[in-house]
Structure 1
Amino acid sequence: MHKSAHGHMGDAVRDFMDPSMHYRVVDVGAKTSHDAHLTHRSLFEGYSHDYVGIDVQPGNNVDLVMPGLYTIPVESESADIVVSGQVFEHVPFFWTTFLEMARILKVGGHIFLSAPSRGHTHAHPYDCWRFYPDGFRSLAAFAKLRLVRVHTDFPPRGENKRFDYAAVTPYRYWGDTVGVFRKTEEYDQKALDRFRQPLIDWCNSVGDVDATLAELGPPPLGRGQSPRITHSAFGIDFPFNPALINEKVAEKIKKGRYEIREAVAIQSYLKGGERVLELGGGLGFISTLVSRFKRPASYTVVEADPRLIPVIKETHKLNGVAGVQVEHCVATSDPAALAAGFCTMRIAKTFWGSSIKSQANGGDSVLVEAVPLKKFLDNDEPEVLIADIEGGEVDLFTGIEMPSVNLAIIELHPTVTGEDGIARMEAELARIGLHSTNHDPSTRVGVYQRRA
């Protein structure tokens, strides 16, 4: 949250709250980064209150996670204050969220709402809207609330009486629009319920809007943002680095074909909410896909190629993904590598060809720390294992147990391992209790599940 928005919210708290009263405060869109210094929670210090932070994802400053993108898990007319700051620009169907905020508000209670009227694109994961006073007036009319204050931090006017945007100071960069809404006896819950719940159900069913009009390409770059390309099938952005992403890969990404087989398997077999361990993070596509669409309980991605670690993190950042643990090492069960403490990795010119297997093409060799796969299995207790490690999967499971893993999705590399290597790997997985569920070898993606 930027300083001006925090300051405007502080004004609303001081002007509309009584220090002698007790309040139940609900903050919608409360999640903050772990290094954030400004939160709405801090604004209510000095007031008798109960604070509940709500967001669509778990994280810092979040007490309740929303069961749907547009469902607030709070009883009707139970909150004295509902606050939401710098959130609505990221919500595709914000009017539905506002109806929910009005529903949970007590008669006589207030909504403190702020959103930018200008500023660069900052997708988390979307940046859809900017707001002026008339936008807040429309929200008040739509939800049958009384708008008791609204203000937009417009630039000063120049000599021609037009707004002088060049005179905007850094503090006022976002041009905050701030509104205070009151719920009065005019609010008709029964009348609104006739369309509120169907609207919420519809918006929840729509869910993410990533694939909509993806052929239009990525949004314009904001300040400090890197060039990007977009996976048209899922609307996932990648930082475009020509040294790593050649024209062939870029074309696959743009046409939605990049790692599409793995993506289809993930969409088909993951239920959502699982603990996930991924070996071979690549460009960060799979970890972003799972985080965006399956909302895992935890996610760890292990990548051996040192060039890809910053790429994975940047992909997560571009797509508003947080909470993924990224580890630079080789997760292995090889006794010799573990005894030495490292593996030799051949860095191919094409990143997908880099491998700890000697067959990798060209490039230099680097030493990468070897970490027991068992360590990740014991620490994370993953329910899902995803692997794309360019042939390293063959001996990965030799002599280990994976009691927590119920599903493994593994990209197969017969040109590196041979069909005998795949058969050897599948025998080890069967010993562990994971059996093949797809019998089409042309997919080159193996799906293995624990039988009930």
Structure 2
Amino acid sequence: MANPFRNVLLNYHRLRNTAFVTLDGVRLHSADGRVPRAVRNGLYKQTYEDAERRLLQTVLRPGDRVLEIGAGIGAVGLLAARIAGGANVLSYEANPDLAPVIEANYALNAERPRLRMKAVTTDGAPVVFHQADNVLSSSVHARREARRTVTVESDSLSAVLAEFAPDVLVMDVEGAETALLAGAPLHGIRAIVLELHPHIVGQEAIDTLSAALNAGGFSERARDRKTVLLTRDREVAG
């Protein structure tokens, strides 16, 4: 349920230019000039990645191995590290502009993930990344909000899964989820926290992905707006 006082919080923190906020025990930079405006507003209202944070906490256990694809400013990965232990969390972020704020946020917290400033792709080849002034809209998809492009290195999802062997997968990749997860070797993963982007890829692509994940043994346990929690209810041979 949305906090009815979120706009009061926003105005209060804006007036004070609050430098740090704490979400679910994670301390984060929030001052003007430190983070983009849209992110700052979400932090002040306590709505930044709130669906991912809520769903992750329902399923994550101490000692779980967590693969996060799409770290943003590091908030969700830090939450995972707080619960599961920093050594058990591997976070990827493709947008090089976010590296300074991620590292600054990591420095504020006792437990920090391992970070790779790379994209994750199906083939591990370099990929063109479209950067928007609003980092929340940056993506490998060419979107109207994009202002510039940069080529970034990537690791293949299959290689990362084989190397890291996660129990939980957290993914927020602005539409790239449909290509990444189609046929991905997800054996051993117990739960997926996944933000869906039908407004980018279309509902048909999302429905196809959902059917493929279901065929792979995952079922939807909870949904919070665009974000779903999928848990494995059976292993599928192959």
From 199, 209, 226, give the equivalent of 1:415. 199
Q: Does 1:385 align with 2:176?
A: no
Partner of 2:214: 430
Partner of 1:271: 61
Partner of 2:228: 446
Partner of 2:114: 325
Specify whether residues 256 and 231 from structure 1 end up closer, same or farther in structure 2 by C-alpha distance, changes over 3 A only: farther
Q: Does 1:253 align with 2:14?
A: no
From 286, 292, 299, give the equivalent of 2:89. 299
Specify whether residues 361 and 319 from structure 1 end up closer, same or farther in structure 2 by C-alpha distance, changes over 3 A only: same
Provide Cα deviations, 1:40-94, integer angstroms capped at 9, x if missing partner.
xxxxxxxxxxxxxxxxxxxxxxxxxxxxxxxxxxxxxxxxxxxxxxxxxxxxxxx
Specify whether residues 235 and 297 from structure 1 end up closer, same or farther in structure 2 by C-alpha distance, changes over 3 A only: closer
Q: Secondary structure at the match of 2:146?
A: coil
Specify whether residues 284 and 241 from structure 1 end up closer, same or farther in structure 2 by C-alpha distance, changes over 3 A only: farther
Q: Secondary structure at the match of 2:51?
A: helix
Equivalenced residues, count:
221
From 146, 164, 179, give the equivalent of 1:362. 146
Q: Report how far residue 274 of structure 1 moved.
A: 0.3
Identity %: 25
Query: Matched residues in 2 for 1:385 and 1:238: separation?
Result: 25
Q: CA RMSD in A?
A: 2.5
Query: Matched residues in 2 for 1:406 and 1:400: separation?
Result: 14
Q: Give the structure with the larger helix fraction.
A: 2
Provide Cα deviations, 1:151-180, integer angstroms capped at 9, x if missing partner.
xxxxxxxxxxxxxxxxxxxxxxxxxxxxxx
TM-score when normalising by structure 1: 0.46
Provide Cα deviations, 1:183-227, integer angstroms capped at 9, x if missing partner.
xxxxxxxxxxxxxxxxxxxxxxxxxxxxxxx9998xxxxxxxxx8
Q: Report how far residue 393 of structure 1 moved.
A: 0.5
Provide Cα deviations, 1:97-152, integer angstroms capped at 9, x if missing partner.
xxxxxxxxxxxxxxxxxxxxxxxxxxxxxxxxxxxxxxxxxxxxxxxxxxxxxxxx
Q: Secondary structure at the match of 1:316?
A: helix
Query: Matched residues in 2 for 1:231 and 1:253: separation?
Result: 9
TM-score when normalising by structure 2: 0.84
Structure with larger Rg: 1
Question: Unmatched 5+ residue regions in structure 2?
Answer: 1-8
From 5, 24, 29, give the equivalent of 1:238. 29
Provide Cα deviations, 1:286-344, integer angstroms capped at 9, x if missing partner.
0111112343661110100001122212111112233x2111111111x5xx4xx2111
Specify whether residues 344 and 235 from structure 1 end up closer, same or farther in structure 2 by C-alpha distance, changes over 3 A only: closer
Question: Unmatched 5+ residue regions in structure 1?
Answer: 1-213, 218-226
Q: Does 1:342 align with 2:126?
A: yes
Query: Matched residues in 1 for 2:61 and 2:219: separation?
Result: 18
By relative contact order (CA 8 Å, sep 6+), the higher-ranking structure is 2
Query: Matched residues in 1 for 2:86 and 2:23: separation?
Result: 23
Specify whether residues 280 and 235 from structure 1 end up closer, same or farther in structure 2 by C-alpha distance, changes over 3 A only: closer
